Amino acid sequence: MSPAIDGTHDAALQSWVESANDPASDFPIQNLPFGRFRGEDDADWHIGVAIGDQVLDLHAARLIASRDMNRLIRLPPETRHILRQTISQGLRAGSAQQKTFKAALRAQSKVKLGLPCQIGDYTDFYTSVHHATTIGKQLRPDNPLLPNYKWLPIGYHGRASSIVPSGQGFHRPKGQTKAPDQDAPAFGPCRRLDYELELGVLIARPNVLGEPIAMADAESHVFGVGLFNDWSARDIQAWEYQPLGPFLSKNFASTLSPWVVTLDALAPFRAPFTRPEGDQEPLEYLDSPVNRAQGAINIELEVWLQTARMRQAGHAGERISQSNYRDAYWTMAQLVAHHTVNGCNLRAGDLFGSGTLSGPRPEQGGSLMELSAGGKKPLALSNGETRSWLEDGDSVILRGYCEQDGFRRIGFGECRGLVLAATV
């Protein structure tokens, strides 16, 4: 069963942490996302919950005994739900626990935020039919959507070791590329570097090897969701991906946001999951009444681009795309059920990438490959610059938030990455 709406979602709740009451804050008391942080003098990571512009150290607040996030996310959903309620009660205005909790607060601006947990295995999916169709038209104009797409969630196993935290730069990758008029491939820096607007789904409870997870239980194995940018070297990808799929074009860096918004916090923003009229229904192991009733989640997503010239001018960047996770063709529960239907065992801390989340309109592409039509129609920026592909010095910032009448807006913070020049 999906988490239910309860008192922690009450829009009238106020916190004694004043910054959390700002309507513009991503982290009101109704949110309470989890992450890891450490100060300048800290040798180890601490587990925290974002509240306004502060972070609550859960160990210092005497709420948890261990600083191991992978251990925390393995807790049963009921136990995690009780922890959320306890945190919410302690942060509410007038709470008797204010003194204890206040001593455990750290300003987010004074700490380093890292990956939310130790990432184990990483699988990237392809859940946006709009992205798959648009890219397919560029590669296969006569057959843009392959016949298996609407029958199963397509995915590939990625590289967990190169997943980096928000704010960390990465060097432009090198590899082989081959132009149509070349007899042999060339080696050098990628010239068609791209971002991908995704969500990262963090797995909580493991399953035993050989025991699939049914749709009815799938969401109990999910801890929460963060923002995820799966950087892509499109020219390297075009040469290497057949017949086995992405390799060096994807494993040089992927950026994950520090805060994980739990499924508990997302309960008010669920929506019915429906297929377009005329599409076949999923096979039985990928279907359930709960998934049909509330398998979709209304998460607004944005991509912002800040060029080096913008940064030098004090310009924070501009939004170049917007889409919504509600339009995904496959749900989180379906990803979990399909990933394990063959007996594959998931582990706490495994990460699923949603795949690029594009909207139905051309301007809602979740990558430059879509927005620039494969580089043929450069994107015009407000300062006179254009972009077909990312250039050195560009920063890409992903943002996300949920809004629903009768509930408090909650956000995901940001997922930021900086493109550095290729190494010599």
Binding-site residues for Mg(2+) sit at 230, 250, 254
Rounded Cα distance, 28 and 151, in Å: 39
Pairing relationship of beta strands 395-402 and 410-420 according to DSSP bridges:
antiparallel
CB atoms within 10 A of CB 424: 3
Token pair, residue 186, equals: 């060339």
Contact status, residue 327 vs residue 130, Cβ threshold 8 Å? yes
Half-sphere exposure of 191 (CA within 13 A, CB side): 11
CB atoms within 10 A of CB 179: 10
Catalytic site positions: 131
SS3 annotation, 80-142: HHHHHHHHHHHHECCCCCHHHHHCCEEEHHHCEECCCCCCCCEEEECCCHHHHHHHHHHHCCC
Q: Residue 263 carries which DSSP code? A: T
3-class secondary structure, 239? helix
